[in-house]
């Protein structure tokens, strides 16, 4: 199969022939129909997070099951699925206490003595799988607990977005922060994940949803997707602006970029008792600084991992939201391309030109 190979930070991915292994007992091979290009893929290409090359990146994907291992009963060839990097074992403390997104059990990974999942066709050397998915490729080899079966009338390019960005943003609002109906919300960053958080806040029934960004076109899209107010942080102090709009601060704020300064802003614009949720990937080693006195008025700050998902429950629900017109996905796809366009997709994302590029396969 063809796959886009990551050779290390600050280098273009190259399209190469890769062999995918046969599924082991609880694994499935999925033919990739569509993959979104997510900001976290870019973090690795930019060297902000480490990952050993050579590897196939990509983790926001949907496709059709081709082959299943002998113990797989959950899906059969022909089933439509969304992949999720929150692969769960089903038996550890996190899984059994209702927080499967925090499962780190090695049970769902291949062992050291097992063959690699991916190899270069030219010399048989190992290619690393990223996030247990590696979707910048024509096929994916996944543990059965890394997929959710979805209805076949759901378009797979839009289903792919649910696999990471939408789950992360909507889930941060609904699962992690549990936004209350009638409350005030500020979302910092109106890229793919921020737009999804805005939609999550709208679905939750927030009264006021303030989108903060520095790119005008993103703020316009934020309004289309549910923001009631916008703040252009390139010309206004966002903390002051949010405090003024709300008369003292928001009940919930979300950081959807991955910057220390923005995480601090998200915390500083909270009303007493408010909760800031950091969704973005703040570069490894960076410290977030907060005014100690703020904690006396019960301001809280928390992380969110993949929208605190229970993805086999959440993703089919989000598809129903989409079908009802409550979750807008078509509007979030700014650009489409083929696997060969992956480097251009990274460039456009870095330049702030797109909410999402979706790459599709035949
Ligand atoms: Zn992602
Ligand atoms: Zn587990």
Q: Is 251 in the active site?
A: no
Question: For a pLDDT cut of 70, what percent of the chain falls above it?
Answer: 100
C-alpha dist (Å) from residue 49 to 11, 280, 312 = 14, 13, 28
Ligand 1 ion: Cβ-proximal residues, 5 Å cutoff = 38, 40, 164
Mean pLDDT of 163-188: 98
Higher pLDDT: 205 or 349? It is: 205
Q: How far is the CA of 312 from the centre of ligand 2 (A)?
A: 14
Q: Is 40 in the active site?
A: yes
- β-pairing, 357-360 with 27-36? antiparallel
Is residue 304 within 8 Å of residue 193, measured between CB atoms? no
How does pLDDT run across 138-162, given as a tens digit for each residue?
A: 999 999 999 999 999 999 999 999 9
How does pLDDT run across 259-272, given as a tens digit for each residue?
A: 999 999 999 999 99
Q: Quick one: pLDDT band at residue 362, thresholds 50, 70, 90?
A: confident
Question: Which pTM does this prediction carry?
Answer: 0.96
Q: Quick one: pLDDT band at residue 301, thresholds 50, 70, 90?
A: very high
CA distance 115 to 270: 50
Q: How far is the CA of 60 from the centre of ligand 1 (A)?
A: 6
Is residue 360 within 8 Å of residue 33, measured between CB atoms? yes
Residue 352 has pLDDT above 90, yes or no: no
pLDDT of residue 355: 79
Point out the catalytic residue in the list 40, 86, 134, 183: 40
Q: How far is the CA of 247 from the centre of ligand 1 (A)?
A: 34
Higher pLDDT: 164 or 354? It is: 164
Total length of the chain:
362
How does pLDDT run across 307-327, given as a tens digit for each residue?
A: 999 999 999 999 999 999 999
Q: Is 113 in the active site?
A: no
Q: Is 103 in the active site?
A: no
Q: How far is the CA of 93 from the centre of ligand 2 (A)?
A: 7
Residue 176 has pLDDT above 90, yes or no: yes
Ligand nearest to the CA of 83: 1
pLDDT of residue 335: 93
pLDDT of residue 261: 97
How does pLDDT run across 279-288, given as a tens digit for each residue?
A: 999 988 999 9
How does pLDDT run across 87-137, given as a tens digit for each residue?
A: 999 999 999 999 999 999 999 999 999 999 999 999 999 999 999 999 999
- Enumerate helices (H) and strands (E) in the chain, giving the number of each: 10, 18
């Amino acid at each position: 199969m063809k796959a886009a190979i990551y050779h290390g930070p600050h280098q273009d991915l190259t399209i190469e022939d890769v062999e995918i292994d046969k599924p082991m007992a609880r694994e499935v091979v999925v033919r990739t129909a569509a993959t979104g290009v997510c900001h976290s893929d870019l973090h690795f290409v930019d060297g902000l997070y480490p990952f050993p090359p050579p590897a196939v990146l990509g983790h926001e994907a949907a496709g059709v099951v081709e082959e299943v291992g002998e113990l797989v009963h959950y899906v059969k060839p022909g089933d439509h699925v969304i992949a999720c990097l929150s692969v769960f074992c089903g038996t550890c403390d996190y899984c059994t206490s209702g927080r499967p997104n925090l499962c780190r059990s090695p049970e769902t990974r291949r062992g050291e003595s097992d063959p690699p999942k991916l190899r270069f066709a030219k010399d048989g050397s190992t290619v690393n799988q990223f996030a247990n998915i590696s979707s910048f490729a024509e096929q994916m080899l996944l543990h059965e607990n890394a997929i959710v079966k979805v209805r076949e009338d759901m378009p797979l390019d839009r289903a792919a977005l649910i696999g990471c960005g939408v789950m992360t943003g909507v889930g941060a609002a609904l699962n992690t922060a549990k936004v209350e109906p009638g409350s005030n919300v500020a979302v910092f960053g109106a890229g793919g994940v921020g737009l999804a958080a805005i939609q999550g806040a709208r679905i939750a029934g927030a009264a006021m949803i303030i989108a903060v960004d520095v790119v005008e076109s993103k703020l316009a899209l934020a309004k289309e997707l549910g923001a009631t107010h916008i703040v252009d942080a390139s010309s206004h102090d966002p903390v002051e602006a949010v405090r003024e709009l709300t008369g003292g601060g928001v009940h919930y704020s979300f950081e959807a970029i991955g910057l220390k300064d923005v995480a601090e802003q998200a915390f500083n614009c909270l009303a007493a008792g408010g909760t800031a949720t950091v969704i973005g990937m703040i570069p490894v080693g960076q410290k977030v600084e907060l005014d100690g006195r703020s904690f006396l008025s019960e301001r809280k700050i928390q992380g969110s991992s993949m929208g605190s998902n229970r993805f086999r429950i959440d993703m089919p629900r989000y598809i129903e939201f989409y079908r009802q017109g409550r979750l807008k996905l078509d509007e979030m796809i700014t650009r489409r391309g083929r696997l060969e366009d992956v480097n251009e997709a990274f460039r456009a994302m870095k330049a702030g030109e797109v909410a999402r590029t979706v790459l599709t396969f035949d």
